[in-house]
């Protein structure tokens, strides 16, 4: 029986699990490659960024910040804020990886992102045979599709001229998708609205993308404060629809958020 | 003008910035439990950040003025929200958003 299971969980079985994600990376990777090309990256740099950074949001952000000639430090600061969410993802995967070696954890972390996390979290939570080795395979399949799509996009961008504003909307749509997946209750919609208004106002006042960082910090902090002040209120309308499993398990909220990432 | 060397530096630094948040919690929390306050604070960062980024794309021009000519983006963004909520699919959402912006920026 074990032998059959082993057979079924081979590379092909893992590939089948990763395939929907890999396919959805193709259009996004192409668009990302086109954008990176338009902001000055050649095909090798695009490929390198896809492997080393391996984050759709981050690569789009790099492209759009380079397009407006933002200084290096500001790009990196924005990236840090964007990538901080990974802390939550990798923290929530950690209970499943307690037996893995230090080297493996470092190796695994380097290829983890939002989408393959969603698959791996679900598999770890539901499939007893799932392990770190298979999880890393999912990461690598998704990285392969992502990188190849980016490099093809870079080539297409080289051959055909695209309206950058149109292709740039891919980024907006991707952020829109990620935002909607984060909405769990009325309070999170309130935080989103506050952040949106604040960021536009602060960016125009400060004439800088720092407005974005400040707006994010203020809005998320306000959300955190409101949630705390509402704690214990039975009729907290703002929190309705969110805390179905509140405090029962520390990873439940994370799971609810991230399950939706799956295609 | 930026050179390939500048871009290479940016990629390497970006890789480090992207790697640290991924690896540190994994190393730390495979040994310990996640503190509740950390979980609660982190929860609102993504929703605030993504909305701020969307708002920037739609309402702020590259010279940091208010974008008055954004009706196609507004309609398409609302459509993206709707499709994302309905399909929960990243691929479908992005492709639909692109089709929408193509159509509406042509019409409007």
Question: For residue A6, is it within any domain?
Answer: yes
pLDDT at A235: 62
Same domain, B4 and B20: yes
Q: Looking at beta carbons, which residues of chain B come within 8 Å of A247?
A: 36
Higher pLDDT pick, A8 / A28: A28
Q: CA of B70 to nearest chain A CA: how many angstroms apart?
A: 11
Q: How far is A138 from chain B (nearest CA, A)?
A: 16
Residues 6 or more apart whose CB falls under 8 angstroms from that of B14 comprise: A49, A52, A53, A58, A62, A75, A76, A79
Q: B75 and B87 share a domain?
A: yes
Q: DSSP label at A243?
A: -
| Three-class secondary structure of residue B60 per DSSP | strand
Instruction: Please write the tens of the pLDDT for every residue from A50-72.
Output: 999 998 889 988 988 888 788 89
Tokens of A258: 């991230």
Q: Are residues B24 and B51 in the same domain?
A: no
Q: Which positions ≥6 away from B75 have C-beta within 8 Å?
A: B100, B104, B108
Pairwise pLDDT comparison (A104 vs A115), residue with the higher score: A104
What ipTM describes this predicted complex? 0.82
| B60 and B92 share one domain | yes
Whether B67 and B56 share a structural domain: yes
| B42 and B27 housed in the same domain | no
| CB-based contact A220 B18, cutoff 8 Å | no
Q: Containing H/E element for A130? A: none
Does B59 share its domain with B92?
Answer: yes
With an 8 Å Cβ cutoff, are A172 and B58 in contact?
A: yes
Q: How many residue pairs from chains A and B have C-beta atoms closer than 8 A?
A: 303
User: Does the beta-carbon distance from A48 to B18 stay under 8 Å?
Assistant: no
Cβ of residue A180 closer than 8 Å to a chain B Cβ: yes
CB-nearest partner of A76 from B14, B64, B90: B14
Residues near A118 by Cβ (< 8 Å), separated by ≥ 6? Answer: A258, A259, A260, A261, A262
Tell whether B44 and B12 lie within a shared domain.
no
If contacts are CB pairs under 8 Å, which of residues 134-173 in chain A contact chain B? 165-173
Distance from CA of B75 to the nearest CA of A (A): 12
Interface test with B, best of A78, A111, A173 (most B CBs within 10 A): A173
At residue B85, φ and ψ (nearest 5 deg) are: -65, -35
Structural domain range at position A71: 2-179
Residue A220 domain flag: no
User: For testing the chain B interface, which of A179, A208, A213, A217 should be mutated: the one with the most B CBs within 10 Å?
Assistant: A179
Q: What kind and span of H or E run contains B25?
A: helix B4-29
- pLDDT for A261 equals 40
- Put simply, the answer to whether A179 touches B54 (Cβ < 8 Å) is yes
Residues B28 and B44 in one domain: no
Domain-embedded: residue A216? no
Domain count, chain B: 2
Give the one of A105, A195, A208 whose C-beta lies nearest to B30's C-beta. A105
The 10s digit of each residue's pLDDT in B10-60 is 999 999 999 999 999 899 988 877 777 766 776 787 788 889 889 988 999
Average pLDDT over every residue of A3-23 = 75
Count of domains observed in chain A: 1
**Residue A216 contacts B, CB cutoff 8 Å:** yes
Of residues B79 and A64, more confidently modeled:
B79
Summarize pLDDT for A164-194 with one digit per residue, the tens: 777 778 878 888 988 898 888 899 999 999 9
Looking at per-residue confidence, does B72 or A6 come out higher? Answer: B72
CA distance B52 to B105: 22
- Of residues B95 and A250, the one with the higher pLDDT is B95
Q: Does A31 touch chain B (CB under 8 A)?
A: yes
Same domain, B53 and B101: yes
Indicate the burial class of A99 (C-beta count within 10 angstroms; 0-12, 13-18, 19 or more).
Answer: exposed
- Residues B49 and B13 both lie in one domain: no
CB contact under 8 A, B25 and A203: no
B9 and B62 both lie in a single domain? no
Q: B42 is in which domain, residue-wise?
A: 34-107
């Amino acid at each position: 029986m074990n032998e059959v299971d082993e057979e079924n969980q081979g590379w092909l079985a893992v590939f089948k699990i990763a395939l929907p994600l890999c396919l959805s990376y193709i259009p996004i990777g192409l668009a990302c490659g086109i954008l990176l090309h338009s902001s000055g990256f050649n095909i090798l740099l695009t490929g390198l960024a896809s492997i080393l950074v391996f984050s759709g949001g981050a690569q789009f952000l790099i492209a759009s910040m380079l397009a407006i000639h933002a200084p290096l430090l500001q790009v990196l600061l924005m990236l840090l804020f964007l990538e901080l969410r990974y802390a939550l993802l990798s923290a929530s995967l950690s209970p499943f990886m307690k037996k893995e070696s230090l080297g493996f954890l470092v190796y695994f972390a380097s290829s983890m992102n939002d989408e393959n996390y969603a698959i791996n979290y679900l598999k770890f939570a539901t499939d007893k045979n799932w392990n770190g080795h298979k999880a890393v395979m999912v990461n690598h399949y998704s990285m392969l599709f992502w990188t190849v799509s980016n490099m093809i996009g870079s080539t297409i961008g080289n051959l055909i001229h695209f309206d950058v504003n149109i292709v740039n909307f891919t980024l907006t749509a991707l952020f829109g998708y990620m935002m909607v997946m984060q909405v769990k209750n009325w309070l999170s919609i309130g935080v989103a609205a506050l952040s949106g208004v604040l960021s536009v106002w602060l960016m125009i006042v400060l004439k800088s993308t720092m407005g974005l960082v400040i707006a994010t910090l203020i809005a998320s902090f306000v959300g955190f404060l409101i949630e705390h002040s509402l704690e214990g209120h039975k009729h907290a309308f703002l929190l309705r629809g969110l805390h179905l499993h509140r405090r029962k398990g520390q990873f439940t909220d994370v799971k609810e958020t991230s399950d939706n990432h799956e295609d | 003008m930026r050179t390939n060397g500048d871009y290479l530096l940016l990629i390497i630094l970006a890789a480090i910035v992207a790697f640290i948040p991924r690896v540190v919690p994994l190393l730390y929390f495979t040994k310990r439990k996640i503190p509740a306050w950390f979980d609660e604070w982190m929860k609102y960062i993504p929703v605030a950040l993504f909305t701020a980024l969307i708002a920037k794309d739609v309402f702020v021009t590259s010279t940091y003025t208010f974008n008055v000519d954004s009706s196609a983006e507004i309609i398409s963004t609302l459509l993206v929200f709707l499709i994302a909520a309905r399909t929960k699919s990243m691929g479908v959402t992005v492709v639909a958003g692109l089709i929408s912006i193509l159509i509406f920026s042509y019409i409007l």
